[in-house]
Structure 1
């Protein structure tokens, strides 16, 4: 139900409920290699513990990435901040890889909640870097899927809500990276325009090619997003899965340009490739499509580094 309070309907099904009874084969570590992994940064690395069946915990994800030569990862969870977990992994886990966290503004953290952003910023270590607008609890996704459960709104009648504006201001104040989440294309662009005005320096268009229940943008909308300073996220599966998604992803990269795109794994579910294997599978598709080392280095290394405020290597 659109507009439902994030604290109402306590008995409503959650987004992750449907995953609980799925019976899938375990993931297999293929140990794939590619030169692009050396110094790569994965900005979208799912992990356990989670309410989904994840194959690897955060410590294992970091260790696997380090063994394959990645420079860094961002731990992603739809339901809780991961800055504190990044601190623990850095202190007690893999020592030779940069580990960062983030925050997704879905219902478990209170939705569009400025206090959740403030907490992430102040979590021990200061390793929170990315704030995602609502994802699986966004008003857009829930409406599209015809679900009746708590939702998070970012705007009303085309106007951003006061709490959305406050979150954007906090992102600017603390030098964080804004990611658009699973809102409508129009909402994403409105958020980005406002963010640019308020001084946000780094913006991600969250996987805008995965399907209409997410932020599914046209080429023209993607170009506007890039012109606003955004970087277009191309998730690995978009490339290594056969069919229309791959064709469209290659078209987007060629049209928008590798300078404004980056590749993330968005992996971690049980039964899917591990993060490093997923990145290699994507890189192989790009190489076969004619993209060279310069473009791959931009999309796997340099652009992710910029989005974290890190110097290029």
Structure 2
């Protein structure tokens, strides 16, 4: 399964549509794909494409990222997505302070996230002026728990991610995703270990290790070794124009992991078992 596919439509240039992503995933024998956009709720995309997707064996799900275009930490946006079949609620990605800080020093990245001249994202925080979690955060956690969906910390900085995961764990939610901790959030290993102790699954994006595009494969092996396959999930984070196709990256990176000593059963845990649990699909 690929729980982090950036197919289109999107304001940002995309290499393929959700239907094309599903078709390629089906040809590769993949069970499910979750499509993600930083700007809108992809659960509605999935419904709009139902006639075409119905002919494809691979299941496709959507979700919503709680950035400024959907009102930020907005329980109504989360509830609507979940009621429409969304399987992941991402807390702020491009609207997080960590992301905005990261983009501010990279003009190309800033332009990438403002394609078509869309307004720059406003910062969205999960804490109020008193330093406590906003009441809306607790409401969203409860909605996610009741729905059987997963909650992702998005691009929140490690301190914010920790507060969010602590609150979710205290509420009994254990379908928790922390994506690419070494990119944008820039969490250190100890912070990642602390998050897994609270029940979070660390999602690493194979697109960043495909041909060592952003990080060498050895870094991924170290992260897997740090928390173990049971706390690790692999996804593509691909679909952007100019980047490799998601399925092609899987075909290149997974054999390299096996050649590097990752056991086949552990690879299956990270690519099938853990993703299925996170979005409540029986494996």
TM-score, normalised by the number of residues in structure 1? 0.80
Partner of 1:253: 224
CA–CA distance in structure 1, aligned partners of residues 231 and 171 of structure 2: 21
Contact map agreement 2:69 2:121 (CA 8 A) in 1: no
The one of 170, 179, 186 aligned to 1:197 = 170
Hey, what does 2:149 align to over in structure 1?
A: 176
Any conservation in 2 of the 1:209–1:249 contact (CA below 8 Å)? no
The question of whether the paired residues in 2 share the 8 Å contact of 1:175 and 1:201 is answered with no
Q: What residue in structure 2 maps to residue 230 of structure 1?
A: 200
Instruction: Note the 1:10-159 alignment, pairs <5 A.
Output: 41-93=1-53, 94-123=55-84, 127-146=85-104, 150-156=122-128, 158-159=131-132
Structure number with larger C-alpha Rg: 1
Distance 1:170 1:149 in 2: 25
Q: Give 3-state SS (helix, strand or coil) of 1:52's partner.
A: coil
Instruction: Give unmatched runs, 5+ long, in structure 2.
Output: 106-119
**What SS is found at the alignment partner of 1:193?**
helix
The DSSP-based 3-state class of the residue aligned with 1:116 is helix
Over the residues paired in the alignment, what is the CA RMSD in angstroms? Answer: 1.8
Report the secondary structure of 1:302's partner residue: helix
1:90 CA drift (Å)? 3.9
Question: Which runs of 5 or more structure 1 residues have no equivalent in the other structure?
Answer: 1-40
1:255-302 CA deviation, whole Å, 9 max, x = no partner? 210111011011001121111111122212212211121111111111
Alignment: residue pair count: 266
Higher helix share: 2
Equivalent-residue separation in structure 1 for 2:15 and 2:9 (angstroms): 10
Q: CA deviation at 1:241?
A: 4.1
- Counterpart contact for 1:183–1:215, Cα < 8 Å: yes
Greater displacement, 165-174 / 50-59: 165-174
**Residue from 263, 266, 278 that aligns with 2:234:** 263
User: TM-score, length-normalised on structure 2?
Assistant: 0.88
CA distance, structure 2, for counterparts of residue 117 and residue 189 of structure 1: 20
